[in-house]
């Protein structure tokens, strides 16, 4: 992975597809802040294993008080199972990918653009990452209140 001209250039692990991902202004500010602290191999931050990163994410989530209860419901045959966990105990670095997809779509970024950044080949493979937040649904449905009569969709 390399950062050039305000973009991350990398190859996706699963597909080996070349990705060019534009960085946000905030990401560029963070990189600029730490540019003088680069490691001996040129990385801005130490590269750690996925497991160590997940442990650090869980620790940060605990420190931030992200302890709401998440209940997972699943079935084994016809038997319904429920498992409840604090969010800080089940969060992982992969949640950032899901959050990026959901937030990008909620902001109106076209799915094709999001897929280009995430390396998804088609909408179906990206679908499991999409979680429409209740707040997003409320905001989107508010368009009915604002536009239905003005646009004469409904008389």
Token output for 12? 């996706």
pLDDT class for 36, splitting at 50, 70, 90?
confident
pLDDT class for 150, splitting at 50, 70, 90?
low
Q: Are residues 127 and 82 in the same domain?
A: no
Which strands make up the sheet holding 7-11, listed edge to edge? 2-4, 7-11, 18-22
pLDDT class for 149, splitting at 50, 70, 90?
low
Mind giving me the DSSP string for 107-155? TT--HHHHHHHHT-SSHHHHGGG----HHHHHHHHHHHHHHTTTTTS--
Q: Is the pLDDT of residue 148 over 70?
A: no
Q: Are residues 118 and 153 in the same domain?
A: yes
Q: Are residues 155 and 104 in the same domain?
A: yes
CA–CA separation, 44 and 64 (whole Å): 24
Short-list 120, 72, 130, 123, CA closest to 99: 130
Tell me the longest C-alpha to C-alpha distance in the chain. Answer: 68
Domain that holds residue 61: 48-92
Q: Are residues 99 and 67 in the same domain?
A: no
Mark 100-117 as b/e (b = at least 16 C-beta within 10 Å): bbbebbbeeeebeebbeb
Q: Are residues 76 and 56 in the same domain?
A: yes
Token output for 145? 């209140």
pLDDT class for 90, splitting at 50, 70, 90?
very high
- How many distinct structural domains can be found in the chain? 3
Q: Are residues 16 and 37 in the same domain?
A: yes
**pLDDT tens string 95-112:** 888 888 888 988 889 999
Q: Are residues 88 and 120 in the same domain?
A: no
CA–CA separation, 86 and 99 (whole Å): 18
Q: Is the pLDDT of residue 67 over 90?
A: yes
**pLDDT reported for residue 108:** 85
**pLDDT reported for residue 139:** 79
CA–CA separation, 4 and 1 (whole Å): 10
**pLDDT reported for residue 83:** 95
Pair 106, 131: CB distance under 8 Å: no
Q: Which residue has the tokens 């390396």?
A: 119
Q: Are residues 87 and 97 in the same domain?
A: no
């Amino acid at each position: 992975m390399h950062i050039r001209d305000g973009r991350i250039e990398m190859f996706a692990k699963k597909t080996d597809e070349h990705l060019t991902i534009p960085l946000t202004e905030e990401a560029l500010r963070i990189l600029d802040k730490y540019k003088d602290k680069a490691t001996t191999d040129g990385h801005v931050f130490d590269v750690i294993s996925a497991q160590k990163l997940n442990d650090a994410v869980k620790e940060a989530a605990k420190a931030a008080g992200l302890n709401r209860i998440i209940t997972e419901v699943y079935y084994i045959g016809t038997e319904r199972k429920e498992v409840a966990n604090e969010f800080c105990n089940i969060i992982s670095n992969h949640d950032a990918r899901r959050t990026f997809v959901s937030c990008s779509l909620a902001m109106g970024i076209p799915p094709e653009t999001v897929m280009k950044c995430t390396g998804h080949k088609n909408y179906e493979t990206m679908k499991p990452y999409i979680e429409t937040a209740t707040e997003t649904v409320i905001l989107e449905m508010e368009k009915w209140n604002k536009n239905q009569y003005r646009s004469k969709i409904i008389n």
